[in-house]
Amino acid sequence: MRSRSIENLPEESSTRRMVLNIGPSHPATHGALRFLVELDGETIAKADAEIGYLHRAFEKHTEHSTWSQVIPYTDRLNYCSSMANNVGYCRAVETLLGIEIPERAQRIRLIVCELSRIMDHLICIGAAAVDLGALSNFWYLFNAREQIYDFTEKLCGARLTTNYTRIGGLMRDVTPDFLDGIRQVLKKLDKALREAGRLLERNRIFMDRTQGIGIISKEEAINWGFTGPCLRASGVPLDLRRAEPYYHYDEFDFEIPIGTRGDTYDRLMVRFEEIRQSAKIVEQALKKIPDGPVMTDDRRVALPPKQQVYGSIEGLMNHFMLMMDGITVPKGEIYSATEAPNGELGFYIVSDGGHHPYRIRVRPPCFLMASAFGKMIEGGMIADAVAVLGSLNLIVGELDR
Amino acid sequence: MPPDPVILEKLKEKFPTEIVSTNDSGEMPVAVIKKAEGHSILSFMKEEPALRFDFLIDLTAIDRQKLGGTPRFEVVYHLYSVTLKHRLRLKIQLPEEDLRLASAVDLWKSANWMERECAEMFGILFEGHPNPKKLLLFEGFEGYPLRKDYPIDRRQKIPVPEEKL
């Protein structure tokens, strides 16, 4: 870590410490975040993070919504990969209900989760490079992300707030051209990755700005509660897709990239490699998507087919009850975690058997990384703080909830 | 992954009088414990070689006011072992009259912000916390918003700093 000593300087030229605010609205803070840093020259002597500017009371709101009404709120958690949040929440509720969703829905969920991971990492690497002054990577990478956006739009009509999954399955099936389209996107993604990779991987300035900066060791990363790419960059091979597989992740052939030093460079490069691995998973998943429905036929959660609604009293009543009261989830509690792009996204849900969740707690992955940020930048230079922040990928939506 | 029965057995062996109830039928073992030995149980969970819960995944609380039963609050710890790959949910019961609990920041640094959040949302006092300030809400916010008796439509005035020029 670069740091200068001021002890040897003559008395009259020694500097006073200065307090500097970075944020809440600063181009490098990626949302409404504020960092208070105490500077000794250009070296950070002390740092503290202040959050809460985007607190939307997600957890309180869910207690006053029906189970299905929570899904659109989850879009706004990590808005760079909303579909992964949708899947995380719905999977938790389904586990609590004891519902197994159809194979086709599982496979499509896996595909959209991996596409989300690609999208999230693209924006993270691109924005981190912009923070370091390298703009062209952003265009290359965002262009690829834009192509995926076009397909989420075809899938569910929205680009950012997708609201795609339902409890018990999916909002609707994919179209045949969707699948061909993703193959085209993956080709373009590959090109974008090669171009951006060429610009970054051996770039002297990029390496000097990121290597050996913001190091966090294996033990520290675990102690601070890091998950996802940031934990793996420190050398811990923990990935829920392998450790606790869901949606048949164990049947796919992919690798989990691991870093060695746990510095900013590793965190970004792990993400680069994860994009490639995710693309590999999507390619394999596209080869065989099982036929069948995308929604379970469990009438506790799924609307009956229109024929039954108009043709039988039971169907009509079923439809009305689901529309008016919503889903009822049996008494109980569950902690269900998925490997979201940023790390372990956990939903701890308590149900009292009513139409509303009794308590939903979201375990946001970047909350814990943000709490370690102050410690990570202490002793470094002020410019390094920006580099470290970019590599952590703090998404304020899930940080504040 | 099926829950590992060893975890609860070890816990029962070491702290037989502190356990209120255990459950091994869900997605992970659950243990509800009394508050008095809370910190030493957490510490035991982390250090015991057969358990090695080195990762505090999540910390939160539940206000059980509308679920009935006493005591009113439960602080919920979700633990994970990176080396042994098992999980545990540990609940510490807190009666409404005495909402003090020993902080776990000395065991896991990840407890730091989660305890701060839990404290401002439920009013639980974590004794020995290094920095017990508000995290998500503004200074001067009154009440504890995630308690069941806090109405969802209550509005509060944001205090204006007086030193404005």
Q: What is the pLDDT of residues A82-115, one digit of tens each?
A: 888 999 999 999 998 888 899 889 999 999 899 9
Kindly report the nearest CA distance between residue B162 and chain A, in angstroms.
20
Q: Decide if pLDDT at A63 tops 60.
A: yes
Q: What is the pLDDT of residues B9-41, one digit of tens each?
A: 777 887 777 778 888 777 888 888 888 888 888
Phi, psi dihedral angles at A312 (to 5 degrees)? -145, 150
Confidence of residue A15 (pLDDT cuts 50, 70, 90): low
Percent of chain A beyond pLDDT 90? 7
| Nearest CB partner across the interface for B112, out of A63, A333, A371 | A371
Cβ contacts of A241 on chain B, cutoff 8 Å: none
What is the DSSP pairing of strand B125-127 with strand B19-23? Answer: unpaired
* Minimum-distance CB partner of B54 among A57, A222, A244: A222
CA angle A229, A231, A237 (to 5 degrees): 90
Residue A330, burial from CB neighbour count under 10 angstroms (0-12, 13-18, 19+) = exposed
**Which of A64, A222, A359 is nearest residue B55 as measured by Cβ atoms?**
A222
Q: Does B79 touch chain A (CB under 8 A)?
A: no
Cβ(A148)–Cβ(A115) below 8 Å = yes
Provide the pLDDT confidence category of residue A348 given band limits of 50, 70 and 90: very high
Instruction: State whether the Cα torsion A227-B25-A66-B122 is positive or negative.
Output: negative
Amino acid at site B17 = T
Q: Which residues of A touch B (CB under 8 A)?
A: 51-52, 55, 57, 59-61, 63-64, 95, 220, 222-225, 236, 238, 243-244, 332-337, 344, 346, 348, 350, 352, 358-359, 361, 363, 367-368, 370-372, 400
Please report how many Cα atoms fall inside a 13 Å half-sphere around the Cα of residue A31, on the Cβ side. Answer: 24
Report the mean per-residue pLDDT for chain B: 84
Average pLDDT of chain A is 86
From B60's Cα to the closest Cα of chain A, the distance in A is 7
Rounded distance, CA A57 to CA B150, Å? Answer: 13
The whole-number pLDDT of residue A1 equals 43
Q: How far is CA A230 from CA A87, A220, A227, A264, in A?
A: 22, 12, 6, 9
Question: In the prediction, which pLDDT does A7 show?
Answer: 56
Of A57, A114, A97, nearest to A286 by C-alpha is A114
What is the rounded distance in angstroms from the CA atom of residue A219 to the CA atom of residue A140? 36
Q: What is the ipTM of this complex?
A: 0.87
pTM recorded for the entire structure = 0.86
